[in-house]
Structure 1
């Protein structure tokens, strides 16, 4: 069995009207429940960005090899991940199947990437 990261960029859901978000949430939760029942869901969640937090405590930070911490990348970047859905499935086709379900629920395209296998971890 292989693990796959299914994700979308921050801002990918910006086209959705605010009044549609409750239904999007319900649809996304339904896919999560289905994946749990199927035994394939490892983890899922949206990434929290707090543009009102002056300390940037909830926002990304870059930690360099020497331990230097730099706040950023900043929330304006569309390259940041907006949400993740990690599944463990037998084939790439199964991962794409779940990505299609997530895409329909979240109303945005999904990126699908296979994790490298490492017996040590």
Structure 2
């Protein structure tokens, strides 16, 4: 089945009051558990931007490492959910659930299929 990346931009959840974070986390975990139970969960996680050990870096083809995101990058990912579902419509349904849980819009993109990478 095709895999889809469901993601949101860094800062998309900045409107959430500090007192609501536990509830949002619980709701997001519930959607991920639902995806696991449905057999479509591949991976989920949020990216940290508040810890010096997790700074973005760009590694060039010559091995040079530059701190920070790719210079032309205008968007930074805040969090992701990857699902393995039969259709785009199914991916959009999961995106709708995670949008409600995380209280922010979600971007949905299909991964390219590469038969050489299939187990």
How many aligned positions are there?
115
Residue equivalent to 1:111: 107
Residue equivalent to 2:93: 97
2 CA distance for matches of 1:32 and 1:117? Answer: 23
2:19 paired with 1:19: yes
Residue equivalent to 2:45: 45
1 CA distance for matches of 2:33 and 2:44? Answer: 11
2 CA distance for matches of 1:80 and 1:112? Answer: 15
1 CA distance for matches of 2:20 and 2:74? Answer: 21
1 CA distance for matches of 2:80 and 2:13? Answer: 13
Specify the SS of the correspondent of 1:120. helix
Q: For structure 1, which segment, 13-22 or 42-51, has the greater mean C-alpha deviation from structure 2 after superposition?
A: 42-51
2 CA distance for matches of 1:47 and 1:69? Answer: 20
Residue equivalent to 1:67: 63
2 CA distance for matches of 1:19 and 1:71? Answer: 33
Q: Greater helix percent: which structure?
A: 2
Deviation at 1:78, TM superposition (A): 6.8
TM-score, normalised to structure 2's length?
A: 0.92
Unaligned runs of 5+ in 2: none
